[in-house]
Structure 1
Amino acid sequence: MKRIFALIAILLAAAPAFASEGPGEAAGFIGIPTLVWKILNFIVYFGLLVYLLRKPLANVFGSRREGIARALSEARQQQDEALRMKAEMNARVASLEREIVELKERMTREGERERAALVSQGAAEAERASSRLGVEADRRLAAARVSLAREAADVAAELAWDLLKREVTPEDRERIFAATLTRLEGSAR
């Protein structure tokens, strides 16, 4: 094998000397035309290049392929994580919306019960003192309704605020704010 490479090297080194022949001389080297030597030189040169560079190029392209596959895998994992977080946030938002609806319903029921209790109490007082306090009883009943509505609204707001402080983290607030901002920007267009 070494002898073949040595022969090829000698022939390649001698080729420029034989290429210095004048124009019109077509004899070539060892009776072989110059064109054939040029073609043979070309084949040997690129054959040697392929032989010498095959492994390093295969390693380079293999490591590049692995790097791309690794980056693609990481991108898929990040996308899956983002989808999971989105589903989780949607579930939390839906849960909070359900809790708010339940809280409103509960406050409405409690308000109706208290209203019924206040109405019955007002009716009893009105019956006892209807001759003297008819107008006063109506005024107090109206004031009690307004007060109850305010109190119910305050309690509902306080319970909702406590629920939000307890359940929503600063990251959730940032995401909800970003989602709301995006929704508002989309509706503004």
Structure 2
Amino acid sequence: YKVAVYHKCSAAHDRAARVESANSVRRLPDGSWYADNFDGVGFIDALKANGHQIAGRRILQVGAGGAGASLAYCLAEAGADEIRLTDIDTVRAGKLAALVGRAFPKCRIQVGEAEPSGMHMAINATPVGMHAGDPLPLDVSRLTPDMTVVDIIMEPAETALLRAAKGIGCRVQPGRPMMDFQVRAMSEFFDIEGKDRGHG
């Protein structure tokens, strides 16, 4: 319902507006609704907190759906030098690449194959890997120990992709930190601690 919810709101943060998707909304004093999307925020903050560099890096991203769209924009915004985007829906991937490229022209983004040759980081932003027997989302035979591999899937905590990457010697990051940082950002969005509320 992220897209449907977004379209019910009268205003939105840029990161929600550019993907036309919201995972958090709040009522404003005038009674209208304001949308935001913390998929990319949580992802980027989690990477940075764990010492993973984004600026100047070449990144393979598999998945151009709802979460993937948010990630691609935020990776470009964070200074990624190049994004190789792949999705089973090549039309969707092409549209996203064009939109991100227009918004962040310093980032070279293009649609390519799900193989990480020449990349610093490989990201799985698809549901592939949630179930036993799922195929690997990218060509792990092209991974090298100097690469970082990230999977946004939270369950299982260690996907087959991450196990394969660890076996090669790659740095890895699972999906849970992304959710943890999303929750932190959402708590600020909803002012859970009441910092901006009137008292008395």
Q: Which bracket does the TM-score occupy, shorter chain normalised?
A: under 0.3
Write 1 or 2 for the structure with the bigger share of helix.
1
Larger radius of gyration: 1
Write 1 or 2 for the structure with the bigger share of strand.
2
TM-score (norm: length of structure 1):
0.23
